[in-house]
Amino acid sequence: MEITIKNLKDIKVVKLVGDVDASTAPSVQQQLVPLAELNSKILLDMTQVPYMSSAGLRMLLTLYRQTSAKDGKLVLVGLSEDLQDTMSVTGFLDFFTTGTTLEEGLAVLN
């Protein structure tokens, strides 16, 4: 799992590369949850995440809750069709603002 965090003005752009599963989700969560600060704007680029287990979904929900609790915004972009289907069936998609491209996600946060 590769995690890259960049700041674009007041938006933290996080790019994930690799599977988010039981072995990687804890370290992803450990690095991302601290980004959820007061009024934070986080864009999670998931174009290179081919697979996410239930542990990954829990990590996303934790990040969403931490961000929302601090009046922040979290946008997911680049979800694969499989991931969108899984998140839709489980009801997770209802919690998140999503976009197809990085540009779409940035537009939502600006």
CATH at residue 99: 3.30.750.24
- In the chain, pLDDT over 70 holds for what percent of residues? 100
Structural domain total, the chain:
1
Domain range for residue 19?
A: 2-109
Q: Tell me, what's the pLDDT at 48?
A: 97
pLDDT for 39: 97
Using a cut of 0.85, tell me whether the model's pTM lies above it.
yes
Question: Residue 73 has what pLDDT?
Answer: 97
Nearest Cα to Cα of residue 55 among 87, 25, 11: 25
With a cut of 50, list the residues of the chain below it in pLDDT. none
> Looking at residue 38, what is its pLDDT?
97
